[in-house]
Amino acid sequence: MMPSRQEGDPGPARSPATPVGAPRPAPGPAQVDATPYHPSALFRRLLNQPGPQPSRAERDRVDPLPRAARVAAAPGLGMILGAAVVVGIASGWLELAVRVGQVRLLHRVAWSSLMISRHASWMLPVAATLLIVPITAVLVSPLLAWASWRRRRGDASRAVSWAWGWAGMVLGLLFCFGPLRAIPGLHPAAQVALAVGLGFRLRRLFARPTLGWRLTASWGAGLAILLLPLYALWRSHAVDGSPRLGQSQPAAAAPNLLWIVVDTLRADRMSLYGYGRPTTPALDSWARAGITFEMARSAAPWTLPSHVTMFTGLWPYEHGAAVDCPYFGPAPTLAEHLRAAGYQTAGIVANVRMCNAAYGLDRGFDHYVDYPSNREVSLRAMMYNSALGSVVMELGRRLLLPLPPAFPFVSYRNARAITAEARSWLDGLERGRESAALATERPFFLFLNLMDVHSPYFPPPSAERRFWTGPIPTTKLATPGCGWEALRARNAAGPQERPQRERELEATRRRLSDLYDDCLLALDAELGRFLRHLRDAGYLANTWVVITADHGEHFGEHDCFGHGSSLYNEQTHVPLILIPPLGAATTGDDPAGSLRGRRIRRPVSLRDLPRTVTELLLPAAENPFPGRSLARDWRTLQPGPPEPILSQLEEPHLAGDDFASEQVSRVNSAIVDDHVLIEFNNRPPELYHLYEDRLQQRNLADLPASRQRLEMMRRTLNALRGRRAAL
């Protein structure tokens, strides 16, 4: 057993202490240090060693802020607020980069992307600055006051250090919070946690007691206060200023183009197409001045892919536009092509979500209006466009402060409002032509999207109610959602309850159908007034008019309601009317006289519209659009066999009452000659005669006599889906 110190062992002898700074003798080769190892003694020895000596240049340089002053001086509030101005502008631009990058670089669209203001390039930095400066003052001032009080008492080192760190952390947190809020799919708790963590890590970057930081804060704030208003005025003028002129001058007397798309209008509910109710008397009359296509087909049963196909000539699988993805391909849109040819272009849409500029549908338009709030310049618009501003406004409203609410996501403008804005734009062109000689030769392309027959089916209060005679229902009872609920209740009912559920389903179907017809009658009257006004004002004298729809609507047929859930006739058979210029019709020498009142029975696709319109407006120019011109159907006696027509439903991730998610599947359809094939990814194909079975109730796919035709149409459908259009 080893003896302990308590038993008298004096321990190892200690060497005499060496004075601090005295040279120590170097041990010889045979000399062995008998002193035991003490880590604390080694640590003290390292601390006592002299550090690196400064160079002559560093010794000669005068430090404008002595070390003692740097430690003892707390940051001034004015200096911190100057840094907050710079941080606010930088944060706003970073948030703008995040938002634009999602759409333009990553090609991803979130619901929040649809309400980005056209003025976001200047609104976001201005809003971030207006918010970050006062928030910084509120959060930093108490600690600065405490540091100043501790300094007066002579104990300032720790308080000053905390003041600098807290100020830097606040600035870093506010700098990161807005851009993080702009990232879709990031949980709010994660946004706050990341902002706090990044603010802590970057605190020494945003606030540090150095001369460089003080100069950056003071000069940067001064320049920002001077230049930010000028930048805002410049960008605001760029948005609201004069439209860009085309790259070339169009041919003399080139026709104008008015393109009207009625959202959710199915052809067989129009008296123009043989419906038993007089739902479209005005359009019946206008169709006699033009060409009516009796079997026009949309490329998709919902708005976005159908519109992109109409504007580019690309099939849905070629352009790839979807709820979360805009059209970003290299193929030009009709508006881009016409603007390059010298046209003045404008688009005014009622479907502010699916026709939103974020999806690329504004490409080529000098003036494009979806959400009216996206063009509004106000403090409210500025705050709600900013991620930080929307949080502040929402918190203020929860605290019962008198703050305005956010702009509604569901925004609806009826045909009267859309056509009034269209007339205003056309009148503005006329005033411009009076003041600028260059504008006299420039035709226009005006695109309108109307949603008066889209759900909820509410005719205007002043409109005639001819078909639905019951009381005006609630919103829930005027949408396809109630139809889906009645259908599910019927399918889940037992034998005893089933007759009652059938009657309820039929009553729901009849109510929705009657309301839809009343909406269509009111829309028809408004369209008639609008076209008469344009004719009387002389706008239609040299204007081609296109009236069509993007898709139709189900009212219980094939156990479906709404749209976006099938490729049956109810959703893909749409109206198409082309009205030639009316100027010559009033003089008696009308070159389009043979076209007026003409009806074309063969099936056509809306995909061919951009090529057709380009040929009609600019016959001598290069036509960049795929497909074939529909003019072939009226210019030759034997136009040849019709081209195969493709329609596609690619499982859109939609939200709303227009469809039931369990009903959505991948569907492809092809029309070849007088038959239509519908292929599903989850059930057998269906084959129908296009004209003899318009309700599509007799499936020919299982008949032995149709086996050869079925195989031929399957090969055609596969070829359509695999063929790439020439871009």
Per residue in 527-561, pLDDT (tens digit) is 999 999 999 999 999 999 999 999 999 999 999 99
3-state secondary structure at position 244: coil
186-211 mean pLDDT: 94
Identify the pLDDT of residue 558: 95
593-604 mean pLDDT: 92
Identify the pLDDT of residue 29: 45
Residue 347 or residue 411, greater confidence: 347
Q: Please give the structure tokens belonging to residue 103.
A: 């759409």
Give which of 258, 316, 125, 174 is closest to 542, Cα–Cα: 258
Buried residues in 184-197 as b, exposed as e (16+ CB within 10 A): eeeeeeebeebbee
* Helix or strand run (H / E) with residue 503: helix 498-536
- For 621, phi then psi, to 5°, come to -90, 160
Q: Is the dihedral of CA 711, 714, 718, 719 positive or negative?
A: positive
64-72 mean pLDDT: 43
* Helix or strand run (H / E) with residue 555: strand 554-555
pLDDT above 90 (res 148):
no
Give the whole-angstrom CA distance, residue 694 versus residue 513. 18
- Quick one: pLDDT band at residue 58, thresholds 50, 70, 90? low
pLDDT above 90 (res 192):
yes
CB atoms within 10 A of CB 294: 18
Identify the pLDDT of residue 75: 86
* Helix or strand run (H / E) with residue 257: strand 256-262
584-613 mean pLDDT: 86
pLDDT above 70 (res 435):
no
- Quick one: pLDDT band at residue 658, thresholds 50, 70, 90? low
User: Which segment of 22-36, 281-295, 369-383, 573-587 scores lowest on mean pLDDT?
Assistant: 22-36
Average pLDDT across the chain, whole number: 87
Identify the pLDDT of residue 10: 44
3-state secondary structure at position 322: strand
Give the whole-angstrom CA distance, residue 716 versus residue 516. 36
pLDDT above 70 (res 341):
yes
| Chain position carrying tokens 């250090």 | 161
337-355 mean pLDDT: 95
Beta bridge partners of 579: 545
Neighbouring C-alpha atoms within 13 Å toward the C-beta of 329: 20
121-132 mean pLDDT: 97
Torsion, CA 200, CA 205, CA 211, CA 217, rounded to 10: -100
User: CB within 8 A of 35, min separation 6: which ones?
Assistant: 12, 14, 15
User: CB within 8 A of 591, min separation 6: which ones?
Assistant: 584
CB 23, CB 49: distance < 8 Å: no
pLDDT above 70 (res 243):
no
Q: Please give the structure tokens belonging to residue 75.
A: 């940051």
Q: Is the peptide bond before 255 cis (omega within 30 degrees of 0)?
A: no
pLDDT above 60 (res 499):
yes
pLDDT above 90 (res 63):
no
Helix residue spans in 33-76 (DSSP H): 39-48, 56-60, 67-72
Give the whole-angstrom CA distance, residue 149 versus residue 159. 9
Cβ burial, residue 36 (10 Å; 0-12/13-18/19+): exposed
Q: Tens of pLDDT along 439-487?
A: 456 899 999 999 999 999 999 988 888 999 999 999 999 999 999 999 9
Q: Tens of pLDDT along 397-416?
A: 999 999 999 998 887 899 99
Q: Tens of pLDDT along 626-648?
A: 999 999 989 877 777 889 999 99
How many angstroms separate the Cα of 603 from the Cα of each of 11, 293, 317, 606, 675? 110, 8, 21, 10, 10
Spell out the SS3 assignment of 381-405: HHHHHCHHHHHHHHHHHHCCCCCCC
Q: Please give the structure tokens belonging to residue 105.
A: 């670089």
- Quick one: pLDDT band at residue 49, thresholds 50, 70, 90? low
Identify the pLDDT of residue 32: 45
Give the whole-angstrom CA distance, residue 644 versus residue 672. 5
CA 697 to chain centre: 39
CB 202, CB 212: distance < 8 Å: no
Identify the pLDDT of residue 590: 76
Pairing assessment for the beta strands 291-293 and 576-579 based on DSSP bridges: antiparallel
Q: Please give the structure tokens belonging to residue 627.
A: 């497909």
User: Given strand 604-605, what is the order of strands in its sheet?
Assistant: 573-574, 296-297, 604-605
